[in-house]
Amino acid sequence: MTRYALKVEYHGAGFSGWQRQSDVSSVQGAIEQALSRIEDGPHTIAAAGRTDAGVHALGQVAHADLEKPWDPARLMGALNYHLRPARIAIVDCAQVAPDWHARFSAIERQYLFRLLMRRAPATHEAGLVWQVGHDLDLDAMRAGAQHLIGHHDFTTFRSSICQSASPVKTMDDITIERVQGQSGTEIQFHLRARSFLHNQVRSIVGTLERVGAGAWAPQDVKTALEARNRAACGPVCPPQGLYLTHVVYPDMPWGK
């Protein structure tokens, strides 16, 4: 058996999420089906993170084991051929050590959340952003986000169905910036951590949006965090603005 790392890009609309399920379409299921067309299966692949329905990826990472040795570029091409017309692409591929693991070898995950401030309905960006019809105070959101940096119990920002063994995580960075795009002004949230809880990013962004709108004070984020109570969280924002952008490993399979 030879193990291959796959860098995966996908549009989350139309999928139930990453994880394979028997009765609905998933990203994992589509890639495993493509693998079965180049080598008899069954195939089971593992990923760096299980994104929810509607969430996108620019840099998801998975690994697959194959009996036949493949040139990575040819494997990438074959998989992309069999993935059509699904909105999934293998954008890089590399042979890795047999004990290399897409999830457990990762040391950092990075997410982007795109929020579009615009009153008119989004057309070209529909399904790719969360749209709000009001302006947001960037400085207030940055002040609120500072309370979340560091090592904390994130129970407040954790889904009730989260399967993580512990709610304690270390948030390395939250950067919030205003970006002027063709469709209007976006607020982009960039979050970095070794790992995340289920719905943690969407819970944080939804809460910070309330700060930006003036419904919460920045200090209220600290109060919510310290409550360690899911009921203290702000609204959980919708999934379509969320992207898994990058997964970091001690030795990147395809360079930086």
Provide CATH code, domain 2-105: 3.30.70.580
Buried b (16+ CB within 10 A) or exposed e, 106-134: beebbbbbbbbbbeeebeebeebbbbbee
Q: What is the pLDDT of residue 29?
A: 95
Mean pLDDT of the chain: 95
* Structure-block tokens of residue 176: 């919030």
pLDDT, tens only, 52-79: 999 999 999 999 999 999 999 999 999 9
For residue 11, how many C-alpha atoms fall within 13 Å in the half-sphere facing its CB? 12
Q: Can you tell me which residue has the tokens 């057309």?
A: 123
Phi and psi based region of residue 14 (left: phi greater than 0; alpha: psi -120 to 50; beta: remaining): left
Distance, CA of 62 to CA of 103 (rounded, Å) = 8
- Closest to 7 measured CA to CA, from 84, 81, 96, 104: 96
Confidence of residue 181 (pLDDT cuts 50, 70, 90): confident
pLDDT at 23 over 90: no
**164: how many CB neighbours lie within 10 A of its CB?**
15
pLDDT, tens only, 182-215: 888 999 999 999 999 999 999 999 999 999 999 9
- Closest to 135 measured CA to CA, from 178, 167, 102, 176: 178
pLDDT at 43 over 70: yes
The DSSP bridge pattern shows strands 242-248 and 56-66 to be: parallel
Q: What is the pLDDT of residue 147?
A: 98
What is the chain's alpha carbon radius of gyration, rounded to the nearest angstrom?
Answer: 19
pLDDT at 256 over 70: no
* Average of per-residue pLDDT across 15-37: 93
Distance, CA of 198 to CA of 200 (rounded, Å) = 5
Contact 112, 188 (CB under 8 A): yes
Q: Alpha carbon of 2 to those of 64, 113, 149, 154, 247: distances in Å?
A: 8, 35, 39, 38, 21
pLDDT at 160 over 90: no
pLDDT at 84 over 70: yes
Active site residues: 52
- Extents of the domains making up the chain: 2-105, 108-246
Provide CATH code, domain 108-246: 3.30.70.660
Distance, CA of 242 to CA of 201 (rounded, Å) = 8
